[in-house]
Structure 1
């Protein structure tokens, strides 16, 4: 499906053209039909060639410019209508200014009412006006909505227009700007909008203003569907939201894929920052939000939004002065998570920064950013990829040069420790995720969640005490030193834990330590016993004590060396 908008001065025949092309009545309200004046957004669709084409018919009267902007904002192309008997008019200019501010680049000029006047002069004037905007040179066709003359040419021209439009990716994140919301008895809340990209399927869960809603049903072009992909006009029956919490200007979003922000930095098109009023309205999608404007550079400003919006870098909107009924400027979103401007001269510096590589500038400012956050902001990947993170190469290089010093300082402060805990090192380095630590540990030793310098051993005092225990174990490998003896050697809990981490002791039970390799030596000694054997027989074979023997056999059971038989005896596995 392709979706295009109409534009043009009031009473130039936009709705009549849509009516003749689609056979549908775009003016939904009785008041519109009574007055012959479009007051709200209208819709109609038809098939042209191999494409379904949906029209968003916008009002042309100056009183309804905000409604026109809501209709034109989300669509990629426009049919611009000018009447042959009236030519270029004030709302023609305002609609064109809006399309230019939105950056619409694809269009078709339709000169209507050729049965009332020669379309040549109106065509020439309109083409001159359009050529000076983002639309540039566009094809043109003339017709009469009353007699039907020229409508075949209009259909063919519309077909050529939509055939040249790009096809958005089906896997894109969904952002459906709502243009209508209403209630249907027995169904509940229904919303409509133009799906610009992505795919929506029945049962999908989407985010609406921080609330998770599910898609109960989908209708597109009057037909119920189970799935729809952009670009498309859609009506969604939602579960999980009341009608009063959904309205024009809200957006249905892929959960977690968009950053909703109340401050953005934008580049202006068609105006200088010094020329703008401080209070304007930002129109983007179907939203219209009052903003405060703060100049940054000659063509860049910061917008403080009264209502947060889900925006991405590259979004195009426009700024409008509602008091003067003027389009003030186009606004291209540059940064949806801009830095604070607290220091003197910060605004000027920020303006200069906005002329450079914004993705790299953002990464340098934060150091480490999740790749998903860059996607949510609309920024291209920058820096180096480490797992799910993007990292600033300069920041990473500086950390890599200091990590050894951090580990060495820790070792000096904790001489009996077997190494610096990885979590402690991560916090000292200011890393937001443990995944970022591993690439910085080149040339360091790691084990059991500890980091140490190569060749780092135990504190000399601890090593000396363990050497004395080694002599005792050599004579009696299964006699654990008593607590008093360990204390006399200066081996407290921290020192013993360090010895265990270094592989110098094997913990059997609380306060019971034997030499490393105890399991293998015990298995060799127990192999000489008649199987099964008792605790007493094992104690005699290992020349041990009951204090050690019971926990040792339980330890051997746990590691699979021995097997308890349930009657107080065991056997080797």
Structure 2
């Protein structure tokens, strides 16, 4: 479809001429049901569209004005940011005019135009009084400053001026921010031979034919057979637009008003979310008790509201909602059927306890730009999985490490704790290569939790890997050490010298085992440290030998390169026993010095 396309919703008291005005501008009757036509009363949402003088396409969502159908009205207005507010000049401001304005105000619509209808039924004085009343009523609301256009759907008077005002409104309206795909479904029906069709307002992202989509919150996946915008077939549709999606593999009962169509896995429906909330302008405060209904997007759900420090609250809903941070919502009392307030979603996956620290972050979120949300989330939670950053904020996470985004405060706390632990360990055990990995892992996890990170499997290892990537520690499969740590063998020079004497010279070919060395008084830490340093060579857990013995063995391997060397040849040439020759040969294999063919070993040529 050519031209820019936007969506606008009507609002206003019953029988003030919303549908008639839409029909006059578009040539389409938005009332779809026989009962609506018989009663002359809009009951459910209606749809129409036209092309404005600028070439922009405008789609209208016509909403019912009767107080009994406010839920339907909210399903139409919820996803839309622009409004055509209708007040009849002959009746003036009425109760549903006020409630609809209250709803628009808490939804924070971006702008609108006021149509003062039925101007042909009143004289100029009455028209002036009605105009003044409207201006007084909308002062201090989201419609403050909106043009008030007298118009008659019957005669057409003022329609051109109204269309021009709508064109100006759309020209000044901000372009939709980049956002994840959401088609807010407000109508589902079946076409014989075509299948299930879901219609709604596409507010973010794009949908394409043949694309796989997921219905939220049910999780049912289906595929798009075709798309239509204003009865034009589209290969791809982008926001903001009214859209009909013909779905393959979906039954009529798989979808309902209030559901959302989007890419699979791109949303996490929630039943608990934190918000800013405020009462409508004729109420002093939100009731602290009672049964409520929450309206968000095209959805209507039962809810409980727990008021926190003003202006924050926690909302729990009976059914999951597909929410993004900064979505707007409306609250109505279920029993009294009145609108009591609304507000803005701040956290779609809040921590269980709404503690003071979390509330301070809510205040920061309320004042934040969308691009700041990922960093704020990571700062608050300490560490967040990268996919959760996207699902909980809609923003791009910073570069993750092993799937985690870690707050600087947590990283610094873990670094300090691990460095302190390793420093103390190295002072106590200077000959040890490093502290046991399990001990350091526990310390890293404890420090992370004290700094606000969650208890999560794998996170301590990720934090240690982060420190290792910075170069401050060295991690092996069993130990962790400071990068600056070196085994201080020179401090135990006498013990090392004694060890070498016991396995060298006349003892070289038949050295004592580790157990025998220990009985002879060689400290175990010296044996282990000398093995790691290469001062001695550990062939097996209970056998260390002098490097000179290994050098002789390697030389023998190359001397017998043509025919290979056996364990027996090695034993005889070195003057040792099979007890030592076998582990020596296996060590040569393990080090890649030899390769074995049966009982014969050859130098590894690669």
Deviates more, 1:281-290 or 1:470-479: 470-479
Equivalence map 1:41-52=2 (5 Å)? 41-48=45-52, 49-52=54-57
Q: C-alpha distance in 1, partners of 2:11/2:271?
A: 30
Aligned mate of 1:17, from 17, 21, 38: 21
Distance 1:226 1:356, change over 3 A: closer
Aligned residues: 567
> Is the counterpart of residue 252 in structure 1 residue 284 in structure 2?
no
> Is the counterpart of residue 155 in structure 1 residue 160 in structure 2?
no
> Is the counterpart of residue 208 in structure 1 residue 238 in structure 2?
no
Partner of 2:476: 448
Partner of 1:264: 273
Aligned mate of 1:122, from 123, 130, 151: 130
Distance 1:424 1:99, change over 3 A: same
SS at match of 1:282: strand
Deviates more, 1:3-12 or 1:276-285: 276-285
Distance 1:444 1:323, change over 3 A: closer
Q: C-alpha distance in 2, partners of 1:315/1:230?
A: 16
- The answer to whether the 8 Å contact 1:215/1:236 transfers is no
Q: C-alpha distance in 2, partners of 1:490/1:239?
A: 80
SS at match of 2:474: strand
SS at match of 1:311: coil
Q: C-alpha distance in 1, partners of 2:359/2:604?
A: 77
Q: C-alpha distance in 2, partners of 1:129/1:467?
A: 97
Deviates more, 1:95-104 or 1:220-229: 220-229
- The answer to whether the 8 Å contact 1:418/1:502 transfers is no
Partner of 2:301: 289
Distance 1:376 1:413, change over 3 A: farther
TM-score, normalised with respect to structure 2 = 0.79
Distance 1:457 1:19, change over 3 A: same
Describe the superposition over 1:242-276 as per-residue Cα deviations: whole angstroms up to 9, x where unpaired.
Answer: 43342112223444444433333322234554655
Displacement of 1:64 after TM fit?
0.6
TM-score, normalised with respect to structure 1 = 0.83
Partner of 2:451: none
- The answer to whether the 8 Å contact 2:43/2:64 transfers is yes
Distance 1:510 1:455, change over 3 A: closer
Equivalence map 1:493-504=2 (5 Å)? 503=534
SS at match of 1:132: coil
> Is the counterpart of residue 336 in structure 1 residue 348 in structure 2?
yes
- The answer to whether the 8 Å contact 2:213/2:224 transfers is no
Aligned mate of 2:417, from 377, 390, 402: 402
Query: Structure 1: where are the runs of 5+ without partners?
Result: none
Distance 1:379 1:511, change over 3 A: same
- The answer to whether the 8 Å contact 1:403/1:440 transfers is no
Aligned mate of 2:440, from 425, 428, 438: 425
Displacement of 1:78 after TM fit?
0.7
SS at match of 1:127: helix
Displacement of 1:291 after TM fit?
2.1
> Is the counterpart of residue 181 in structure 1 residue 193 in structure 2?
no
Describe the superposition over 1:67-105 as per-residue Cα deviations: whole angstroms up to 9, x where unpaired.
Answer: 001100100101112233333222222211111111113
Q: C-alpha distance in 1, partners of 2:237/2:227?
A: 9
Describe the superposition over 1:35-77 as per-residue Cα deviations: whole angstroms up to 9, x where unpaired.
Answer: 2221111112223333322111111111111100110010010
Partner of 2:6: 2
Partner of 1:229: 238
Partner of 1:570: 602
- The answer to whether the 8 Å contact 2:221/2:264 transfers is no
> Is the counterpart of residue 305 in structure 1 residue 317 in structure 2?
yes
Q: C-alpha distance in 2, partners of 1:307/1:155?
A: 40
Describe the superposition over 1:119-173 as per-residue Cα deviations: whole angstroms up to 9, x where unpaired.
Answer: 5443333233223311211124343323434433333332222222222245x22
Distance 1:138 1:501, change over 3 A: farther
Describe the superposition over 1:317-347 as per-residue Cα deviations: whole angstroms up to 9, x where unpaired.
Answer: 11112433322112222333444459xxx68
Query: Structure 2: where are the runs of 5+ without partners?
Result: 367-372, 449-455
- The answer to whether the 8 Å contact 1:7/1:80 transfers is yes
Partner of 2:38: 34
Q: C-alpha distance in 1, partners of 2:353/2:44?
A: 41
Aligned mate of 2:206, from 199, 208, 213: 199
Q: C-alpha distance in 2, partners of 1:517/1:334?
A: 70
- The answer to whether the 8 Å contact 1:531/1:571 transfers is no
Q: C-alpha distance in 2, partners of 1:168/1:533?
A: 76
- The answer to whether the 8 Å contact 1:458/1:499 transfers is no
